[in-house]
């Protein structure tokens, strides 16, 4: 067996091991990450929803970046349409 073959086999083993490690908990970890993201989203748009946020000056800059994910967020939070009056995303 050539060295390259052995390396290929090892790589396949490493792939299987990492899938075996990660797969069972992928959804749990992804869900936890999404919950943190949701909270972050709430912080960024908090002023628009009437919740005072002392960091608005800084979070304002992030709004255009987060806007892409805004639709997903409000539908996941159980609101069919955007809850904000300022702009409508759908």
Partner 1 sequence: MSAIVLAVIGLVAISSGYFFYSKFIAEKIYQLDPDFETPAHTMRDDVDYIPTHRIVLWGHHFTAVAGAAPIIGPAIAVIWGWLPAFIWVIGGTIFFAGVHDFGAIWASVRNRGTSVGSFSGDVVSPRARTLFMIVIFFLLLMVNAVFAVAISDALVASPSAVIPVWSAIAVAIVIGVLIYKVGVPILWPTIIGTIILYVVIYVGDRVPVELPEVFLGLGAAPQWIVILFAYALVASLLPVWLLLQPRDYINGIQLIIGLGLLFGAVFIANPTIVAPAFNTNVPDGTPPLIPLLFVTIACGAISGFHGLVASGTTAKQLNKETDARFVGYLGSSGEGLLALVTIIAVTAGFASLAEWEATYAAFGTTGIATFVAGGSTIIAAGTGLPVEFAATLLAVMAVLFAGTTMDAGVRLQRYIIQEWGTIYKIPTLQNGYIATFLAVGACLALAFGAGGADGQGGMSIWPLFGTTNQLLAGLTLLVISIMLVKLRRRYIFTLVPMVFVTIMAFLAALYQLWDLFTSQQYVLVGLDILIVIAAIFVLLEATSAFFREKRAAAAPSG
- Sites of contact with partner 1 (CB under 8 A): 10, 13-14, 16-21, 23-32, 34
Distance, in Å, from the CA atom of 46 to the CA atom of 63, rounded to the nearest integer, reads 11
Smaller CB separation from partner 1, 26 or 81 = 26
Provide the phi-psi class of 78: left if phi over 0, else alpha when psi is between -120 and 50, else beta: left
**At its nearest, how many Å lie between partner 1 and the CB of residue 25?**
5
Q: Which is nearer to partner 1, 27 or 64 (CB)?
A: 27
Coarse DSSP helix, strand, coil percentages of the chain, rounded to the nearest 5 percent: 70, 0, 30
| Comparison of 33 and 81: residue with beta carbon closer to partner 1 | 33
């Amino acid at each position: 067996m050539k060295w390259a073959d052995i390396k290929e086999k090892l790589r396949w083993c490493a792939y299987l091991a990492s899938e075996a490690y990660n797969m069972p908990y992928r959804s749990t970890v992804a869900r936890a990450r999404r919950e943190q993201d949701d909270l972050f989203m709430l912080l960024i748009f908090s002023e628009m929803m009437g919740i005072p946020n002392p960091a608005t000056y800084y979070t304002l800059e992030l709004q255009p970046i987060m806007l892409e994910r805004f639709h997903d967020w409000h539908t996941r939070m159980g609101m069919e349409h955007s809850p904000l009056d300022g702009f409508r995303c759908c």
